[in-house]
Structure 1
Amino acid sequence: MPPDDRTGPARPGDGDPADPAGIAHSDVGAYALGLLDGADTARFEEHLTDCTRCQGELDRMLGLRAVLDEARGGAAGDGAGAGAGAGDRAGAGAVGLTKTGDAPDSAAAAEGLFARPRPELLDRLLAGAARRRRTERRRRVVAAVAAVLLIGGGGAAVGALGGGGDDGQQSARTDAESVRAMFREGEKHHDVDPGTDVDATVSLVEKPWGTYVTLRIGNIRGPRECDLVVVGLDGERRTVGSWSVPKYGYGIEGTKWDEPLYITGGAALPPDRIDRFEVRTLDGERIASVPL
């Protein structure tokens, strides 16, 4: 964007070679402060509809406006002497942020510090920001659940779920320790299937709502998808949990995948109404059975 004849310093975004239209990401600050003229405002708002980076920056600045509005409301309730001092400081700070150069009072300074986007644009920005926050929350929840359910694999699954970052790995380690602690606490039932050699142990903790179940399973190879099924004394069958087994498997002695897999879930039946647990593939093959 070629420089214009407006007074004041040139904006950092003018003539940004990375933007053929001359609209730079740094213009979001000038837009929020109301320093863009009508034509530049229109061009920037057009850019803003497709730029998630600028949308996020403006979203944060709108949040700052709310903080300033709250601070202004608190200042209005102070004594006259304190109010005068705050007004002088706010007015002095706002002089450089107005096009006219007039020194407004503190209320006008706080009100005029940020320009409001057009209502239809503001609606789109707020909706986009809400979608990004929901997506991030879903991503964190899915990662946390997966870290609890897929704790085995010699640490490989934990590393992948943690995204390679220290925080993610620490969270996965904490989840793994919690699940193993719950496994140690419960009543154990164990069996090795004579046909598949799959080694399965269930640990049961009775709860008011039923039974908390932790399955430790080893000597299982993939690729395959499995269900843990609880079978009641009356023959009723319910799925406790599902997972997939990669090609290398879990709990394979003599390999680097010798760590078993831990699966957690809940059964509505109390322990005294459970006959057995079964591990089945999704095509119906039973690969392990643990009687109580």
Structure 2
Amino acid sequence: MTAEVEHSDVGAYALGLLTPADAKTFEDHLAACERCADELADLRGVAGLLTGLGPVRDDASAEPAGGGVDLLRHRRGVRRTRLLLAVAAVLLFAGGVVVGTTQRHGTVPADLRGWGEIRSADDAKSGLAAVAALQNKGWGTHVALDLGHLTGPRTCRLIVVSTEGEEREVTGWEVPVRGYGAIDSPDHLQVHGGTAIPLGDIERFVLRADGVGDLLSIPV
């Protein structure tokens, strides 16, 4: 890793698995990478949980009877396997893998609780419900959006509207035929995006479907 720091190294760093040289290189990268800094803050808790589990005792019955070199190789293999499992657990969390969860209408998803300022809106006719978590950043505003009862197929975009009426696209996505948050597809859609417009200068967000128009407005 010394030659080039990767974003995925945040998991190994959180577990203290990097060499001193690689750890120093990653710390230099961390000072200028807000994404990795945010992920590291979350991973501290996960790494703590793994550390708190303590060592798992070896099964003596599974060890080679001959001892010596064979026993040493066996124990090294066990430690290597445990290390890989721990790294896999942290990297799964760090990689941003989203597992859909079923939400009740109008509730704040667990993934967004305590995450910035929460804004929500819903449409009584269609059942479409949106929850947006907003974080004011030095570069603008970070947006996390949770959508339920969104039918498909269609192409959607999230539009931010400033207090001066300026519109900018935050992010976009394709909705499959089964949709999101429906009876036969209960998992909600969760997407992230960003805008250069500061949070204090945002009037609302608009969920817009190509060829259809505005589906929902989320006041800020």
| TM-score where L is the length of structure 1 | 0.38
With a CA cutoff of 8 Å and minimum separation of 6, indicate the structure with the bigger relative contact order.
2
Give the % identical residues.
34
Compute the RMSD of aligned alpha carbons.
2.7
Instruction: Give the superposition deviation at 1:176.
Output: 3.3
**C-alpha contact (below 8 Å) 1:229/1:240 kept by paired residues:** yes
Question: What's 1:175 paired with?
Answer: 96
Q: Secondary structure at the match of 1:197?
A: coil
Find the partner of 1:209 among 125, 139, 147: 139
Instruction: Give the superposition deviation at 1:191.
Output: 0.6
1:232 has 2:162 as partner: yes
Higher helix share: 1
1:275 has 2:196 as partner: no
Structure 2 CA distance, aligned partners of 1:272 and 1:173?
30
Find the partner of 1:187 among 106, 110, 117: 117
* 1:1-292 map, 5 Å: 171=92, 174-176=95-97, 183-184=112-113, 185-252=115-182, 254-255=183-184, 257-292=185-220
Cα 1:268–1:260 change in 2 (3 A) is same
2:154 alignment partner AA: R
Cα 1:176–1:186 change in 2 (3 A) is farther
Larger Rg: 1
Instruction: Give the superposition deviation at 1:194.
Output: 3.6
Cα 1:175–1:181 change in 2 (3 A) is farther
Structure 2 CA distance, aligned partners of 1:205 and 1:273?
13
Structure 2, unpaired ranges of 5+: 1-87, 101-108
Instruction: Give the superposition deviation at 1:222.
Output: 0.4
**C-alpha contact (below 8 Å) 1:228/1:278 kept by paired residues:** yes
Question: What's 1:93 paired with?
Answer: none
**C-alpha contact (below 8 Å) 1:210/1:267 kept by paired residues:** yes
| TM-score where L is the length of structure 2 | 0.50
Q: Secondary structure at the match of 1:259?
A: coil
**C-alpha contact (below 8 Å) 1:192/1:198 kept by paired residues:** yes
Aligned residues: 122
Higher strand share: 2
